[in-house]
Structure 1
């Protein structure tokens, strides 16, 4: 069995709520960021959100999972290494992953514990704020890597959020090393500006001697380079990645194929929920380049797909929404 993409990342059951700005002030939550919380904070926040706003949507999530599922729905053969517990949320997670056509290391016995959860709070301006209880996903370990599946892949895709746990970071670094041994290309995402801001050394360790393809947004690129000018950040990105894609929100994206820096046009949409936009961009992009398309075409598909994600609620598109988007290729 060969794969286009082998992903490794956190496994979180996403619970989405529509809230107002006043909620953050009252709850003392920083808007627009991903914040790690403990199990007690999760229980308390979940009970408040459920009572005051009502659960809008539940899905298997985690940044790289959304990317891998997007690529799978476009038609890529994919594998996802993660860690969920032998609880109801874990059962739900694995079933949801497999329903999307993704193979996983979690299809057998699973450890006791609590499956990670992410409370996604979306405001009327479409900004997404996340409070995450990692649970058992913070114990993602080198033992979870399926080397045979990795070796049979064209790309590995590493999630930047793994930097926050020592064992997860070690697993991510091991995936990069195994990929190099087996001649598999390495793609990585920074995942969130907070990861570059607070865990820069760990991310540099994960990047090692460089990756083949890096995904980041404008803010993450500038934080990495220590500049407030994207143009100054580009040469720094080139030091760490042979190729890269930088998302610019409503301004579209930039994609560097190793020779040419392509400007990717945006798709004007009414934003409803920004959750998952970057994940979908990476999934569509990886699908395109593993199916014979160049960076310009990959950027067009990724831009269109991420715009569609932003224009509806939830971090992903439904299976049937993917095929019509391929016209952008």
Structure 2
């Protein structure tokens, strides 16, 4: 097996994040559940955006955030995600490449514009996400560069993109290519809403030995397993997936690798400003640690360090020098 050119190649939504501070009363008035993620259509995206306060707009998407974090730590990352031939699509492509991420997916001329996520952040740092997927859900098998997939040590998949049929078909093909090349496949569960819609499909992937690494938070692992107890939920997958990694907010993170369980505490943060992207950057740090051959405990600590950096400011992209922090 040849040495991979990329540490990680991720497939996920290519969207632009629009982040705004707000009060709990605004969420109540809009009928929004704090901390939730919902999919919206173009009309609702326009309506809600008109009601939001001053916002900060950056290129984003869960898996894209992870690749940006990997690149910030000096890792070799690539991203696959679909944008439209519009201004936001050009902004997304320019930004992610400028961060040092390999991005080769061609824009397409479709009715749906490039996707965007309207993120409302309350004073306690919780984020409520309203996502219009747009062109990102138009990703097809034909958009894949199979040589690029085979040249990545880890194929990292985002559950948000597993829900619609066409992107899921592309991901299934990408898994076949990665496995044939002797590479590893990782999945992040992303959100409970994704599990509600595709639980059986996720379980089939796990039963079929399609995964080498599963990322989740505490609520997601419980939802996927159907277990109300955390330890029981973790045990449900510990024997089926070689490496399971679960973040537990202020309680830290846990990993189980072939029966061996390791826990690390959360990194101390003076003030939680915005939890957007915490899980994405945790995954970036953990994957970088694994790519460097570090012990499991070190990889968890690096992930926790990256997550702590993200929640201390607005947005899902690091502002501090992650490479220096890790060093």
Q: Normalising by structure 2, what TM-score?
A: 0.94
- Verify the 8 A CA contact 2:189 2:195 in the aligned structure 1: yes
Q: Among 7, 16, 29, which residue is 1:4 paired with?
A: 7
1:137 maps to 2:140: no
Question: 1:256 offset after TM fit, Å?
Answer: 1.8
Q: Which residue of 2 aligns with 1:236?
A: 236
Q: CA RMSD in A?
A: 1.4
CA pair 276-109 structure 1, distance change in 2 beyond 3 A: closer
Q: Which residue of 2 aligns with 1:26?
A: 29
Q: How far apart in 2 are the matches of 1:227 and 1:216?
A: 14
- 1:179-218 aligned at under 5 Å gives the runs 179-207=178-206, 208-218=208-218
CA pair 240-162 structure 1, distance change in 2 beyond 3 A: farther
Q: How far apart in 1 are the matches of 2:91 and 2:258?
A: 41
Q: Which residue of 2 aligns with 1:297?
A: 298
- Verify the 8 A CA contact 1:210 1:242 in the aligned structure 2: no
Q: How far apart in 1 are the matches of 2:258 and 2:239?
A: 11
Q: What is the DSSP-based 3-state SS (H/G/I as helix, E as strand, rest coil) of the residue aligned with 2:316? A: coil
Question: 1:202 offset after TM fit, Å?
Answer: 2.9
Question: 1:240 offset after TM fit, Å?
Answer: 3.6
Q: Which residue of 2 aligns with 1:14?
A: 17
Question: 1:198 offset after TM fit, Å?
Answer: 3.2
Q: Which residue of 1 aligns with 2:50?
A: 47
Q: Which residue of 1 aligns with 2:40?
A: 37
Q: What is the DSSP-based 3-state SS (H/G/I as helix, E as strand, rest coil) of the residue aligned with 1:211? A: coil
- Verify the 8 A CA contact 2:239 2:259 in the aligned structure 1: no
Q: Which residue of 1 aligns with 2:116?
A: 117
1:65 maps to 2:64: yes
1:261 maps to 2:261: yes
Q: Which residue of 2 aligns with 1:309?
A: 310
Q: How far apart in 2 are the matches of 1:174 and 1:204?
A: 17
Q: Normalising by structure 1, what TM-score?
A: 0.94
- Verify the 8 A CA contact 2:16 2:88 in the aligned structure 1: yes
Question: 1:201 offset after TM fit, Å?
Answer: 1.8
